[in-house]
């Protein structure tokens, strides 16, 4: 049997046991969770996951998205996709930024990455209170792949400009192959 893939995304009011409910759906439809992100955002529980399974299992899961939504009181979107693969050849890096929370931080960095055709493999942001002062702090972590066509010295220089313009503390670190 041919293995197929689907991306499942869902959103609904947060309650205890939701991660287990979503994991159980994979089992119920004879699918495997390949990759996932789950988070409480505001009062909503959000999930995005890559599932694999036999073609018939994936098709059945997709056809039952509305039924699952009613059953769990969540919005389900399930779409067939391709097998995971590395999109871009290059050197993997993690780019981290910490600063006081101000609008436009993510846009400034992602716009620059886009200009250089640098692929973002994963991006996470979080707002938290600074110790002692309680100042709203913004944390961003992006796993990126820098193509060999990008001059690293020029790249770091422009990041320093963004760091200065937006009052950020940006760290760029190459990831080692383990």
CA dist 120 and 113 (Å) reads: 8
Question: Do the two domains 3-81 and 91-174 of this chain adopt the same fold?
Answer: yes
Sign of CA dihedral 40, 42, 45, 47: negative
For 37-52, the pLDDT digits (tens) are 999 999 999 999 999 9
For 5-20, the pLDDT digits (tens) are 999 999 999 999 999 9
Long-range contact pairs involving 164-169 (C-beta distance under 8 Å, separation at least 24): 165/108, 166/99, 166/102, 166/104, 166/105, 166/108, 167/99, 167/100, 167/102, 168/97, 168/98, 168/99, 168/105, 169/97, 169/98, 169/99
pLDDT at 177 over 80: no
Task: Identify the band that residue 78 occupies on the pLDDT scale cut at 50, 70 and 90.
Answer: very high
Residues 140 and 96 sit within 8 Å (Cβ to Cβ): yes
Tokens of 32: 């495997």
**Domain at 91-174, CATH homologous superfamily:** ACT domain (3.30.70.260)
For the chain, the structural domain boundaries read 3-81, 91-174
Domain 3-81 annotated CATH 3.30.70.260: yes
Nearest residue to 136 (alpha-carbon basis) of 108, 106, 102, 97: 102
For 121-152, the pLDDT digits (tens) are 999 999 999 898 999 999 999 999 999 999 99
For 53-76, the pLDDT digits (tens) are 999 999 999 999 999 999 999 999
Q: Output the CA torsion 119→152→101→164 (10° steps).
A: -150
Residues 76 and 66 sit within 8 Å (Cβ to Cβ): yes
pLDDT at 178 over 60: no
Nearest residue to 142 (alpha-carbon basis) of 114, 178, 100, 101: 114
- What is the Rg, in whole angstroms, of the alpha carbon atoms belonging to the chain? 20
pLDDT at 86 over 70: no
């Amino acid at each position: 049997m041919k293995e197929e893939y689907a991306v499942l995304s869902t959103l609904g009011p947060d309650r205890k046991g939701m991660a287990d409910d979503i994991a159980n759906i994979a089992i119920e439809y004879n699918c495997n969770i390949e990759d996932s992100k789950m988070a409480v955002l505001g009062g909503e529980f959000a999930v995005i996951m890559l599932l694999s399974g036999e073609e018939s299992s994936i098709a059945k899961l997709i056809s039952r998205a509305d039924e699952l939504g009613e059953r769990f009181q969540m919005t389900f979107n399930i779409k067939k996709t391709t097998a995971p693969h590395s999109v871009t050849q290059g050197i993997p890096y993690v780019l981290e930024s910490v600063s006081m929370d101000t609008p436009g931080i993510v846009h400034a960095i992602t716009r620059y990455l886009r200009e250089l055709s640098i692929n973002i493999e994963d991006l996470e942001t979080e707002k938290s209170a600074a110790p002692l002062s309680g100042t709203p702090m913004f944390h961003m972590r992006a796993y990126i792949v820098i193509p060999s066509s990008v001059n690293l010295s020029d790249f770091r220089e422009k990041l320093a400009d963004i760091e200065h313009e937006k009052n950020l503390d940006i760290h760029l670190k190459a990831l080692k192959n383990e």
